[in-house]
Amino acid sequence: MTQHPHTHEISVRFFDLDANNHVNNSVYFTYMEEARTKLLMEQYLHCRQHGVHFVVAEASCKYKRPIGLNDRVLVQLGIQNTSRISFDVAYQFTNGEGLTYAEGTTRMACIESSTGKLVRLPEAVLNFCQQVAV
């Protein structure tokens, strides 16, 4: 297991469950969004002041075992594969005691707010990516 520098605890809600009585596969992406937002909020606000926004360019999730209503869920995350135009956020869903539920990745990029065109990552974002790299 790769050590991820940031951890966010998720509270499983009843409406996260599907007919099989476990967290629906689509909900993992909202868990990723919640953890990613917590990790990147300061960077997002900085970029927004400069007319730049983060966008998710790609998202994936590999499911290993189901999450139930009473399960403890920690999303451990960090940044990898940073380039001048994008970076990946890597996620590992665990119970904090060695059990892995899933692993996921989102590729993030920046666009100029006024044009919607892809732009290079701001220097502050690149520095942040180095600080929380896995």
Residues 88-111, mean pLDDT to the nearest whole number: 97
Residue 15 tokens, joined: 């409406």
Dihedral-angle region of residue 19 (phi above 0 means left; psi in -120 to 50 means alpha; beta otherwise): alpha
User: 29-67 pLDDT, tens per residue?
Assistant: 999 999 999 999 999 988 888 899 999 999 999 999 999
Residue with tokens 């007919």: 19
Domains of the chain as residue ranges with CATH: 6-131 (3.10.129.10)
Q: Using the predicted structure, report yes or no on whether residue 1 has a pLDDT greater than 60.
A: no
Q: Where are the alpha helices (DSSP H) in the chain?
A: 27-49, 123-131
- pTM here? 0.92
Instruction: Count Cβ neighbours within 10 Å for each residue of 51-75 and write b for 16 or more, e otherwise.
Output: ebebeeeebebeeeebbeeebebbb
